[in-house]
């Protein structure tokens, strides 16, 4: 059974990515065509990698112990203590494949829902912001200023259409992730 099957939140600390990255940002916006972005907030491991590198022995009791989930923490307080530079970090509360509109936990830091990302099931690439787009399924203009889809309903439609229209494209076989930011 997966940690996420019970619709429990997990937490991750990722690097920020936005206009302050100057040339890297300008190059990304030109390549992606996502001119509406103010900042990218994604679980895409190439664009917004986790700030914690190697898994330390002390992490094991505090992380989701599943194949591709080792960067996701079950204990927010532990994660907060491990991050060296919180000012340059996005602290995210996430739900994988939520069956209803999720609500962030209220007994921790305040989190705000930013939207939904679609991340390949066996990796960390976003079909929304790191695949060159799928204009037959969704338009770049549908994405928020953070590069996310704003409604769970639309995210599920895009997920279904990606699988139907691109069955041989591994980036199109995605999970829907709700993303809240502290």
Q: What is the pLDDT of residues 40-63, one digit of tens each?
A: 999 999 999 999 988 899 999 999
Q: What is the pLDDT of residues 55-94, one digit of tens each?
A: 899 999 999 988 777 899 999 999 999 998 898 899 999 9
Compute the average pLDDT of residues 98-110: 90
Instruction: Say if CB 112 and CB 26 are below 8 A apart.
Output: no
Question: Where in the chain are the domains?
Answer: 7-181
pTM of the shown model? 0.95
How many helices (H) and strands (E) in the chain?
Answer: 3, 4
First CA to last CA distance, the chain? 28
- pLDDT, tens digit, 9 for 90 and up, residues 14-37: 999 999 999 999 999 999 999 999
pLDDT for the residue numbered 7: 87
- What values do phi and psi take at 15, rounded to 5? -70, 150
Q: Which residues, listed in sequence order, are joined to residue 149 by a DSSP beta bridge?
A: 116
What pLDDT is recorded for position 161? Answer: 98
Mean pLDDT of the chain: 94
Q: Give the Cα separation of 149 and 146 in Å (integer).
A: 9
Instruction: Map residue 90 onto helix, strand or coil.
Output: strand
Q: Once rounded to an integer, what is the mean pLDDT over residues 131-137?
A: 93
- In the predicted model, is pLDDT for residue 1 greater than 70? no
């Amino acid at each position: 059974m997966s940690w996420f099957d019970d619709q429990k939140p997990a937490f991750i600390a990722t690097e920020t990515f936005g206009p302050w990255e100057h040339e890297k940002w300008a190059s990304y916006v030109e390549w992606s065509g996502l001119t509406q972005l103010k900042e990218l907030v994604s679980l895409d491991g190439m664009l917004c990698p986790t700030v914690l590198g190697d898994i330390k022995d002390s992490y094991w009791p505090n992380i989701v112990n599943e194949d591709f989930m080792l960067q996701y923490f079950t204990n927010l307080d532990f994660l907060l203590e491990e991050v060296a530079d919180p000012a340059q970090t996005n602290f995210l509360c996430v739900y994988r494949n939520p069956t209803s509109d999720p609500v962030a936990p209220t007994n921790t830091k305040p989190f705000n829902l930013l939207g939904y990302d679609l991340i390949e099931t066996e990796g960390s690439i976003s079909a929304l912001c790191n695949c060159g787009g799928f204009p037959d399924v969704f338009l770049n203009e549908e994405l928020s200023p953070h590069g996310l889809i704003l409604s769970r309903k639309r995210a599920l439609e895009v997920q279904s259409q990606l699988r139907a229209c691109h069955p041989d494209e591994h980036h199109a076989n995605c999970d829907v992730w709700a993303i809240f930011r502290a």
